[in-house]
Amino acid sequence: MQVSRSRPFVSTVVAGSFASLCIVASGVSFAQDATPSALPAVTPAIAPTLVTAPTRTQIHVAIANADPYVQAFNEHLTILASPWMEGRLPGTRGMERAMDYMEDQFKKVGLDAAYQPSEGGAKTYRQPFSLGATAVVVEESITAQCGDKQTTFVAGTDFKLTLLGKSGSATGPIAFVGYGLDDGPDGYSSFTEGHSLEGKIALVLRFEPMDAEGKSRWSGGEGWSGRAGFQGKLSAIAQRKPAAIIVVNTPGANDPRVSSLSAGGSRPMCDVPVFMMSAEAATALVASCESTRTLMELRTLADEPLSAHPDSPMSFDLAGPQLTVAGKTAENAVTAQNIVGVLPGRGALASEVIIIGGHLDHLGQGDFGSREGPGKLHPGADDNASGAAGVILLGDMLKKAYDELPAETPLRTVLFMGFSAEESGLNGSRHYVNNPIYPIVNTVLMMNFDMIGRMKDGRLSVTGSTSGKGMKEWAEPFYANSGLTVIQNESRGGGGSDHASFQAVGVPILFAIIADFHDDYHTSRDVVGLIDRESSVQAVNLWRELAFDMAKRPARFEVEQNSGPMRAQPMKVRAGLRSRDSDDDSGIEIIEVTKDGSADKAGILAGDKLIKWNKKDLKDRLAFVEDLRTHEVNDVVQAVVLRAGEEKTIYVTLQGSKAGQ
């Protein structure tokens, strides 16, 4: 919604907060203005119990009486976080719609196109960049031949090709390999000495040896040990050169994932095709050819070490069956786009640039980065439809403010940006700083919004006040007059959002985010009905005041040499874990977690592999330690760990250096 009337720089807030309104698709009742027609009196046989009707909020009245910018924010937010946007994952139809919407709003408020794809070509609102390629399944089939009987299994119901292996096809006998482990406690191994897997289809059980209740025998009753993951077992099997691998959802396992064919990973772990098969389909497969044992009996055999059944081998070929499998994937190139609008400056300051941004993307169906797993729509209302809506409002506000000033007033150029692919590693902002529309040396300030929608008691965290000499003294009066409780965070770590890309190249930054994280972050529960519209607009007003003053300010701020994340700092925090580099440089392996330390309280476990830290791929321990040096006590850092073959996103609140090791 475009708001046309001019606004003063201090917004009024209507009584009766939008924060109290949970607008949902169904189940909302509204007060009625009209009274029902009189009905004939009826004397019931039994007097009814009178129930007082609950107080009902007239949502349309609250919206109509709200500040116009609160109304506009509400509309932008509701559209960007709607199911129509499909969670705004780059490369999807939903993200295209979200980009169309932001571009259209930039046009409506009067911002100019900023990006010129070729010399002499027309300018556009979109700055494209490559996100590499994503693998998609184009062929998957499994057929069993037992004598004259042929059984064809149904893709998507009985099995699925995973992305844990490579494309390939094969025909051969089935080799049962238990849990596919060769390094279990007390010498446990799933492999019989001398049993060859070469050229065969390896049938392997998911997880690890379990008891009668379907729980791990090795983890002390707390979930699974690190051996239950895909990586170790697939590596152990692949070393024995099978033609393909089928991972079976183990019957009786006490884990909800046994009802899903999702492997939860997107990184190839071996060079042969890897399939997931349901327990029901695998039971039918074994029963059709292996007459001496059922799948459950095979599981029971694998649950015990060889010493418990010395006459029965741990791995062996199933009698009779020939299996034909085929799996093929293809790579689809993914191109993402930053949405960019420009408010041209004037006079002597026009060559200098302020960037106001917030990421537009989110997690789609939660296929990566989700804290509750894939398969549900992640609307991303707070993260970061709230910030993107704020950027749109600021384009409108500052365009009007510029238009109201005399034409001769010197003003800086303002670039408004909806970054893409922030969630997968700050890709859009990093592309911009490497391919800037305006020279980075002329960029005097980057102001970033990420999650401004659910402030608790009006508490807004602002990072970067000390990133330029004198900035703190300049900004604090604006903080004091904002109507919010501004918590100044002096973290040097970049905060895991798009401003970090600018901070790394020496641009002063201001980063606003809710001061108190909520449990709905990166879940399907981050919905529109929980957003506090008024406090969000108060944050927008604060950014407007700061940006407008900076646009007119004669001098730019000199960069503080120790403000960026690149300079080594004394260690103020501890993660509370011991780790070692992985053999394949794909992360660091957690070998010990300190009780009650930062990692322990966040839920990181020994046996996890830490593959991302602060939204960046983690290659080795040195990179991890160097990032830790940049943080302050109580910073919240997003970590991604690989556990039991699935990526889990965990949020670590960093304790002081004396609280852990």
pLDDT of amino acid 17 = 43
Structure tokens at 393: 């409002």
Q: What is the pLDDT of residue 183?
A: 84
Same domain membership, residue 302 and residue 185: yes
List helix spans (H) across 411-508. Answer: 427-434, 471-480, 499-503
d(CA 241, CA 597) in angstroms, rounded, equals 42
Give the CB-side neighbour count of residue 497, counting CA atoms within 13 A.
28
At 257 the pLDDT is 87
Is the per-residue pLDDT at 572 higher than 90?
no
Encoded amino acid at 126, one letter: R
* Residue 535's CATH number: 3.40.630.10
Mean pLDDT, range 138-149, rounded to an integer: 91
The one-letter amino acid code at 498 reads D
Instruction: Give me 394's structure tokens.
Output: 């600021």
Q: Is the pLDDT of residue 30 over 50?
A: no
Segment 135-150 shows an average pLDDT of: 90
> Which residue, of 305, 330, 355, is where some domain finishes?
330
pTM more than 0.75:
no
Q: pLDDT of 317-327, one tens digit each?
A: 998 778 999 99
Quickly tell me which residue has 């930039």 as its tokens.
Answer: 106
Instruction: Answer whether residue 52 is part of any domain.
Output: no
Please give the distance of CA 86 from its chain centroid, rounded to a whole number: 14
Give the pLDDT confidence score for residue 448 in this predicted structure. Answer: 98
DSSP state of 386: I
With respect to residue 246, please indicate whether it lies within any of the assigned structural domains. yes
| pLDDT exceeds cutoff 70 at 42 | no
Q: Which of 155-169, 299-313, 602-616 has the lowest mean pLDDT?
A: 602-616
Q: Are residues 326 and 351 in the same domain?
A: no
Strand partners, 461: 487, 513
CATH number of the domain encompassing residue 184: 3.50.30.30
pLDDT confidence of residue 38: 41
309 domain-assigned: yes
Whether 432 has a pLDDT exceeding 90, the answer reads: yes
CA distance 251 to 255: 10
Strand-pair partners of 151: 144
Per the CB < 8 A criterion, the answer to whether 131 and 338 are in contact is: no
In terms of domains, do 578 and 521 share one?
no
Amino acid at 325: V
SS3 sequence of 556-611: CCCECCCCCCCCCCCCCEECCEEEEECCCCCCEEEEEECCCCHHHHHCCCCCCEEE
Could you say which of 270, 305, 330 is where a domain stops? Answer: 330
Distance between CA atoms of residues 38 and 399, nearest Å: 56
Domain annotation covers residue 568: no
Q: Report in angstroms the alpha-carbon separations of 338 from 2, 125, 233, 240, 380.
A: 22, 8, 40, 46, 18
pLDDT of 331 > 80? The answer is: yes
Domain check: are 193 and 258 in the same one? yes
Query: Would the CA dihedral through 438, 440, 446, 451 be positive or negative?
Result: positive
Q: Is the pLDDT of residue 427 over 50?
A: yes
Confidence grade of residue 39 (pLDDT, cut at 50, 70, 90): very low
Distances 441 to 522, 552, 560 between C-alpha atoms, Å: 35, 18, 14
Q: Is the peptide bond before 481 cis (omega within 30 degrees of 0)?
A: no
Say whether both 191 and 312 belong to one domain. yes
Q: How far apart are CA 228 and CA 334, in angstroms?
A: 32
Is residue 583 domain-resident? yes
Backbone angles phi, psi at 616, to 5 degrees: -130, 145
Cα distances from 488 to residues 103, 141, 465, 569, in angstroms, run 32, 57, 7, 19
The mean per-residue pLDDT over the stretch 73-86 comes to 97
On whether residue 610 sits in a domain, the answer given is yes
Question: CA 277, CA 295: separation in Å to the nearest integer?
Answer: 13
445 and 358 inside one domain: yes
Say yes or no: 393 and 541 in one domain: yes
Over residues 431-453, the mean pLDDT reads: 97
Residue 531 lies in a domain: yes
Beta bridge partners of 566: none
The whole domain housing 613 covers 573-656
Residue 43, domain member (yes or no): no
Mean pLDDT of the chain: 86
With residues binned 3-state (H G I as helix, E B as strand, rest as coil), the percentages for the chain, rounded to 5, are 25, 25, 50
**41-45, 491-495, 576-580: least confident range:** 41-45
322 and 357 both lie in a single domain: no
CATH of the domain at 630: 2.30.42.10
Least reliable range by pLDDT among 291-300, 440-449, 519-528: 291-300
Q: What does the pLDDT read at residue 5? A: 33
Q: What is the predicted pLDDT for the residue at 50?
A: 56
**How far, in Å, CA of 371 to CA of 368, rounded?**
9
How many angstroms separate the CA atoms of 541 and 480, rounded? Answer: 13
Same domain, 323 and 363: no
* Residue 405 and residue 547 share a domain: yes
- Out of 306, 330, 354, pick the residue that ends a domain: 330
The torsion region of residue 50 among left (phi > 0), alpha (psi -120 to 50) and beta comes to beta
Do 545 and 581 share a domain, yes or no?
A: no
Lowest mean pLDDT among 225-229, 237-241, 454-458: 225-229
Instruction: Tell me if 607 sits within 8 A of 648, measured CB to CB.
Output: no
pLDDT at 637: 86
Burial track 133-147 (b if 16+ CB lie within 10 A, e otherwise): ebeebeebbbebbbe
Residues 545 and 584 in one domain: no
Number of folded domains in the chain?
3
